[in-house]
Amino acid sequence: MSRKIVQVAAGVITRPDGCFLIGQRAPGTFYPGYWEFPGGKVEAGETPAQALCRELDEELGIRVERLNPWLVREHDYEHAHVRLHFFEVPQWSGSLNDHVHSELAWVRPGAVDRTPMLPANGPILKALSLPRMMGVTQAGQIGVEQQLLAVDRALDNGLRLIQVRDRGLPDTLKRGYVAALIQRARSKGAIVVLNDEVELALELGADGVHLSAERLADCSARPALEWVGASCHDRHELERAAQLGLDYAVLGSIRETPTHPTGQPIGWEGFSAKAQGLPIPVFAIGGVSAEDMVTARAAGAHGLAAIRSAWPSA
């Protein structure tokens, strides 16, 4: 028999230094001692966003000034089947005055040192460790030397996620170029995913693979790499990426671009409508640049993927 779904709202409350807040569940609750994101059940007549604002006021004594929809994940616990609506809370006011947890902790994405986490939250921590800006390479257009220089500059500027997508690059150049790029990225702790080349990614020790929409449609199981994402254009493809348990999707085009001039751009509203309620992070692509980050995240994007604007000029 299918169980009633309990709607829950949870907040990733962030500080300007990028750390986010977690709380340890108190004795006498389900999963006492486990760490969670502050939040609680959605009450009758509330939207999940309203529920989160109420819970953060009641539990922590803070007022939400801005919140962004992020991921929605379901989990089947012994005590309930929950649908967790995760929001990011980048702006809030008041001082923390916790009424419900045993302890609070500010932790850094990718370096959460508090355990155990509530069982539903593992993928959430992994998603939070995914950088917000993805640079997509274009060595086929600008040449290998120029692209590697651009990678060096971008890494120095803080880029930590690179999708290697060099259409038109001769195979003879590819292997050495990709190996050099991975080496540079690794020295800075950046993630490198190769567009569609699972074998090459495994062979060269890339962090993952980025599936084209065609490859996603043909894919019957998630490739065995740490990071796997996909390019998507519609809800069907986004749901397929989520079903396969991928780590992220990229959705666009937001605006018309020289690389994809023919497709109808979806704009931020289209992005929001297509990406809402998905259990995996979604990057916005197509004519976007770092200045779009606040708008993108308000529309529910995890971050931005950029081809031309990701690479600072010398």
Ligand X SMILES: Nc1nc2c([nH]c(=O)n2[C@@H]2O[C@H](COP(=O)(O)OP(=O)(O)OP(=O)(O)O)[C@@H](O)[C@H]2O)c(=O)[nH]1
Positions that interact with ligand X (CB under 6 A): 8, 10, 29-31, 36-37, 39-41, 75, 77, 80, 82, 84, 118, 120-121
What are the strands of the beta sheet with 35-36, ordered from one edge? 35-36, 20-25, 101-107
Whichever of 41 and 236 has its CB closer to ligand X, that residue is: 41
Smallest separation, CB 101 to ligand X (Å): 10
Q: List Cα–Cα distances, 148 to 43, 140, 160, 187, in angstroms.
A: 53, 12, 15, 14
| Nearest residue to the partner ligand X, using Cβ | 40
Strands (E), 109-217: 133-136, 161-164, 191-195, 208-211
Going by C-alpha positions, the residue among 119, 116, 13, 100 that lies closest to residue 63 is 13
Whichever of 118 and 288 has its CB closer to ligand X, that residue is: 118
Smallest separation, CB 286 to ligand X (Å): 32
Whichever of 10 and 251 has its CB closer to ligand X, that residue is: 10
Whichever of 77 and 106 has its CB closer to ligand X, that residue is: 77
Alpha carbon 166 to its chain's center: 23
Smallest separation, CB 218 to ligand X (Å): 33
Whichever of 51 and 159 has its CB closer to ligand X, that residue is: 51
CB of 83 within 8 A of CB of 8?
A: yes
Smallest separation, CB 8 to ligand X (Å): 4
Smallest separation, CB 88 to ligand X (Å): 13
Spatial distance between the Cα atoms of 190 and 158, rounded to a whole number of angstroms? 9
